Amino acid sequence: MQTQPFSDTMTWLEFHGFKAHPFEHLTADADHELSNYFESFPFLREIEKPTRCSFLFMRRGTGKSANRIILTEQCEKSLKTSEQKLAVPYTDFSRLIKKDKVTLADHVEEILREAVPRLYDLCIQRGIEKLPEEFAKDFVWFIRRYSDKLDPRSITMQLDKIENLSDEQKKNAFAKIMEIFKGQVQKPLENLIPGASVLFDLASVFMNIKTDQEKLSQIEHSPLDLMSRFAEISKKFNIKYIYILIDRVDEYAKIFDYEKAAEILKPLTETIPLLEMPPYAFKFFLPIKLRDKLSAHLRSDRFDMYDYEWQPDELKKMFEKRLSAHCDKTKIGDEAARSDFKRLFSDKKDFVSEMIRFADKSPRNLLKLAKIIFDEHTRSNQIDELISKDTYERGLSVFAKEQIEWESHEKPSVKELGELDLDKHRFLEHLLERDFNINDISAHQTVEKWQKNDRFAAPHFSLTDVIRSLNIPKSEAREKARQWEDAELITAHYKIEDESLARFLFAKKGTK
């Protein structure tokens, strides 16, 4: 039994049976435990199908990338079976965001930047010399043009993976690589794609062929021709399907600039011959707000389109599975104990259900709130064994302020609304005293009862209260209220229209 305060976060976590911080990574790309607690959506099996182009539309932070990562892992596992699916995540739009006008050729260029190195990695293990000469020449051309992500070190590592090469052959190939690189210093570096010459010569060594570089470089290919030719090469290595997984496009535009994100995607989403070209399976993981902006260009009769919102029981299950996945089973053998969040608190109430309401149907929000609570509890070097109710409420307040700030990016009026002092206890008691002639003691008791029974989710406030909170003249207050109504933040009766926003406003402490 612990009697002294803990000095650091990890010691506190280990005491409670955690092998790692369960909320350290809030994005799916950084979370190595994702597959251990991933909640499969009802239509994931439909999205997995390689014969249809699919679009999954969801709000930010609700699982788009998680679905893409799980699908990528499934493809990688299939490479050891007869299915043979090659996953090509398309998530880097840094070059396209700088262009005034994005074309289909731009998209194909970016896709092949990802696809060629992935196929090369696979082929180097299976024996690149098995390609017929016609396809070998084309593949060397693809490698030279789209191999900027490969370097000499990765190639030498790949040499060790080749089972059908003797040690002497590997040694000779390595010597060839070093010889090439020693000569590169005499060449104009700006004319070289990093690693391209090495890959070209290395491929030539493996296949014992001579390739006319200049002639191949002069060949003009349309975007569809390039994708078709790459698909043919892939088939020679028994690849049955190539999954192109499009995600994170909105992260490269300014916050909430969905117009820009849509403009980037349209050349790709409008090209049906590519989206339906075998053996490609295009899978789009996009923000829900892009659906309306792309709808005029999407063929619902040709493509599968899905949208999804998390339900409270699904969020609870995901949260508990995540807790369990980050626990050390040798320290906590019972599954129920590993997934129990209440055991970390001095007050054993159902905190998770309330946190889920604050998360507003977003797994990332739920995890972020939990992380903030942990951060509030462990911010000093005198960490108590259990989290207090005051610490929990302080975490809610910090989270609420962050959410109000985030929402204000899309709706500037939210920032002004967030300046209202809507403390639950004092403010609702004031309304009861004023409107129902209830004395302050009875008002306080009534508010406590309401809170206990969760009787209010989106509290009301009157125009008089707006004036009192903002300390501005009545006429200006009326005009401000009209602006908020136009922005769909409040109704004519001054009820906060957005229930989650109301919850944030009443949870934050202080006005600044």
Q: What is the pLDDT of residues 92-148, one digit of tens each?
A: 999 999 999 999 999 999 999 999 989 987 876 666 656 677 777 788 788 878 865
* DSSP conformation class of 361: T
Q: Give the whole-angstrom CA distance, residue 50 versus residue 279.
A: 8
**DSSP helix/strand/coil, 4:** coil
Among 63, 71, 105, smallest CA distance to 88 is for 71
Among 400, 430, 495, smallest CA distance to 456 is for 495
Q: What are the φ/ψ torsions at residue 75 (nearest 5 degrees)?
A: -65, -45
Q: Give the whole-angstrom CA distance, residue 462 versus residue 434.
A: 11
Give the position of tokens 């590592």. 157
pTM, rounded to two decimals: 0.77
463: Cβ contacts below 8 Å, ≥ 6 apart? 474, 477, 478, 481, 494
Sheet holding 241-247, edge to edge: 85-90, 241-247, 280-287, 54-58, 304-307
Residue 239 and residue 86 in contact, taking contact as beta carbons nearer than 8 Å: yes
* Type and span of the H or E element at 449: helix 440-452
Span 285-306, pLDDT tens digits: 999 989 888 877 787 778 888 9
Q: How many CA atoms lie within 13 A of 297 on its CB side?
A: 17
- Give pLDDT < 50 ranges for the chain: 149, 180-181, 183-199, 205-211, 213-216, 218, 424-425, 454-458, 510-512
pLDDT of the residue at 507 = 82
Residue 61 and residue 365 in contact, taking contact as beta carbons nearer than 8 Å: yes
Residue 97 and residue 253 in contact, taking contact as beta carbons nearer than 8 Å: yes
Cα 309 to chain centroid distance, Å, stands at 15
Span 450-481, pLDDT tens digits: 656 544 444 555 555 565 566 677 778 778 87
Cα 246 to chain centroid distance, Å, stands at 12
pLDDT of the residue at 192 = 35
Q: Give the whole-angstrom CA distance, residue 427 versus residue 417.
A: 15
Give strand pairing partners of 164: none
H helix runs in 185-271, sequence order: 196-207, 213-217, 223-235, 258-269
Q: Give the whole-angstrom CA distance, residue 65 versus residue 31.
A: 11
* DSSP conformation class of 128: G
The sign one gets for the Cα dihedral 270, 98, 259, 51 is positive
Give the position of tokens 């979370």. 31
* Type and span of the H or E element at 286: strand 280-287
pLDDT of the residue at 1 = 57
Residue 351 and residue 316 in contact, taking contact as beta carbons nearer than 8 Å: no
Residue 82 and residue 259 in contact, taking contact as beta carbons nearer than 8 Å: no
Residue 288 and residue 250 in contact, taking contact as beta carbons nearer than 8 Å: no
